[in-house]
Structure 1
């Protein structure tokens, strides 16, 4: 990107009342960020959503001084600024209406021809979550995916570390400018992350890790990836916000089930129960549902032998073996079970590894 183009994009970002959606609308109408400032008021007023206050704010010359300061910081700190129409901009994020106008990156990020997934979850990760994450990334490693997370405590930093152990590219999407690291205790990981990927943010160097920034950060994590995986979560938390955003963007969401008594499995279990996430019991589930290239050999997941099924579960299993793929409503109808009962039964059978969910709310016997 030319320095002059970046300067005017930065200036446009500093105009009060101009967010990502409005900025894109103005640029589309005028042709460039520079032309937004040169276009006559009457023409700008014809744009949907542009009112008198915004027209006044576009005349504020102080935005140029602020833009110049940030431009100098970017140049002197080897930061890459990526415009939403650039080739290096995450392809999936381009299709999110509220995707950032600009992204600032550091390190060695290369998104070209890559499978990209995000792994998120609680900051209070348990040994169960750690071991599941370890096995998941180990089994996915032959497919060389990029692992995206938020560089926070818990699931985030575990996912980054395990990705690096397997020489996978990993990207930390942060909720502040690239002039700092939060939490500070994670500074020790920065150099290695930048060698194996890097950091990404929409925030200027003047931005601190304020609470509201984390929600904005989460939309990047959800929007730029093919699928979002929730390893562990309580019944409320930032990872559930990310999962909901991923659903809104029509991305696949996966959740790791856990015991109903475990605090940090409640959020995942609820996502599965409300059909906002696919059950994730192994890498094989992810690979199958995302239809990833299976030519590269992935360590097989051995099917459990001699699984004990309840009489009603056996009836459902036999039906699926006979008929193949089927939706839950039809399974309930043909097997003569109420829908509320079949839902829980199918979940138990998934956990036993004898059936699996398919796109379109279908199920099939394994």
Structure 2
């Protein structure tokens, strides 16, 4: 990405009242991010959601100065980043409407793996939760999953450490800039996490760990993964927010059940009781639900069916015929379709009798 484009992205990030959804709407409407700041305000006003107040913020000189300062830091320190339209932007995150337009990265990240799970939970982890976390990751080791968490106390840091112990890649999603670290006591884990994966954040280098940043961070934790696992939570907590976000992204959620009297099992028990999470008793539950144990079929491609399919329907059918049972997210990624559009097409294919849905958001011909 050239400097002009990166500066425009940073200016957009710095603009008050312009979140990631509105930013993407602006970019789509004018063709590219550079054009956002080249377009006349009266033209921008025609875009739904853009008013005079937003355009005033867009062209605020203070935003430009801040963006230039951050650009200088990125270039001087060779900071890695991914723009939401680039090929190296995490594929799972691409399908989330409110995903950041720009993320910053550090470490040895390799996201070319469709087995990505997030493990989150209370900071007040019990021995029950710790033992289960150890056992779970150890049993999943043979499938070589990527373990995502938030680098916080309790369940988060436990998940990172156990992943490293089992030679698995782990990704820590930060609620602050790469120059900061929170909590301070976790500085000792930075080197290991970088060696076995790394860090991702949407925040500029000197952004402090503000309370609201942790809630924003949770959508990246949920969005990066195929499934989110909650290991112990009180009735209220950030991990429950992450579970709610994961459900909104149509991703699987698992929760470790516990005794009704245990304070830090109440949140998980409620998720299960309210059908917001699958009950988690062992690694086998994840393996079966996510179909990690099903080898890909090698059936020949059938070029044309006796029923009439349009070009997009035929593309989806051919993909499923070639690859066997597939998850909704995998179909969307490989057929280059947004989830909302794909879901509608799959319903039509089901009505035509050529595709059938399976448990765990799976489909097959």
TM interval, shorter chain, is 0.7 to 0.9
Q: Secondary structure at the match of 1:38?
A: coil
Q: Secondary structure at the match of 2:180?
A: coil
- The runs of 4+ residues in structure 1 deviating greater than 6 Å are none
The CA distance in 1 between the partners of 2:121 and 2:203, in whole Å, is 22
Match of 1:57 in 2: 57
Q: CA RMSD in A?
A: 1.6
The CA distance in 2 between the partners of 1:106 and 1:39, in whole Å, is 34
The CA distance in 2 between the partners of 1:91 and 1:64, in whole Å, is 30
The answer as to whether partners of 1:78 and 1:106 remain within 8 angstroms in 2 is: no
Match of 1:198 in 2: 198
The answer as to whether partners of 2:252 and 2:360 remain within 8 angstroms in 1 is: no
1:69-89 per-position Cα deviation (integer Å, ceiling 9, x unaligned): 111212233321110111121
The answer as to whether partners of 1:171 and 1:197 remain within 8 angstroms in 2 is: yes
Match of 1:317 in 2: none
The CA distance in 2 between the partners of 1:81 and 1:234, in whole Å, is 35
The answer as to whether partners of 2:229 and 2:253 remain within 8 angstroms in 1 is: yes
TM-superposed deviation, 1:141: 0.6
Aligned residues: 300
The answer as to whether partners of 2:81 and 2:105 remain within 8 angstroms in 1 is: yes
Name the TM-score, length of structure 2 as normaliser: 0.80
The CA distance in 1 between the partners of 2:154 and 2:140, in whole Å, is 20
Q: Which has the larger radius of gyration?
A: 1
Structure 1's unaligned 5+ residue stretches are 297-357, 362-366
TM-superposed deviation, 1:215: 0.4
TM-superposed deviation, 1:31: 1.6
The CA distance in 2 between the partners of 1:285 and 1:200, in whole Å, is 28
The CA distance in 2 between the partners of 1:292 and 1:360, in whole Å, is 11
Q: How does 1:137-286 map to 2 (within 5 A)?
A: 137-286=137-286
Q: Secondary structure at the match of 1:279?
A: strand
Match of 2:302 in 1: none
The answer as to whether partners of 1:117 and 1:148 remain within 8 angstroms in 2 is: yes
Structure 2's unaligned 5+ residue stretches are 297-357
The answer as to whether partners of 2:290 and 2:360 remain within 8 angstroms in 1 is: no
Change over 3 Å in CA distance of 1:197–1:288 after alignment to 2: same
1:24-50 per-position Cα deviation (integer Å, ceiling 9, x unaligned): 111111122211111112211110011
Match of 1:33 in 2: 33
The CA distance in 2 between the partners of 1:65 and 1:360, in whole Å, is 48
The CA distance in 2 between the partners of 1:359 and 1:257, in whole Å, is 21
The answer as to whether partners of 2:113 and 2:145 remain within 8 angstroms in 1 is: no
The CA distance in 2 between the partners of 1:133 and 1:65, in whole Å, is 46
The CA distance in 1 between the partners of 2:77 and 2:144, in whole Å, is 29
Match of 2:69 in 1: 69
Match of 1:129 in 2: 129
Match of 1:88 in 2: 88
1:240-264 per-position Cα deviation (integer Å, ceiling 9, x unaligned): 1101111111110000111111111
The answer as to whether partners of 2:178 and 2:206 remain within 8 angstroms in 1 is: no
Match of 2:350 in 1: none
The CA distance in 2 between the partners of 1:119 and 1:359, in whole Å, is 22
Match of 2:78 in 1: 78
Match of 1:9 in 2: 9
The answer as to whether partners of 2:229 and 2:255 remain within 8 angstroms in 1 is: yes
The CA distance in 2 between the partners of 1:206 and 1:70, in whole Å, is 9
Q: Secondary structure at the match of 1:135?
A: helix
TM-superposed deviation, 1:62: 2.3
Match of 1:101 in 2: 101
Q: How does 1:288-299 map to 2 (within 5 A)?
A: 288-294=288-294
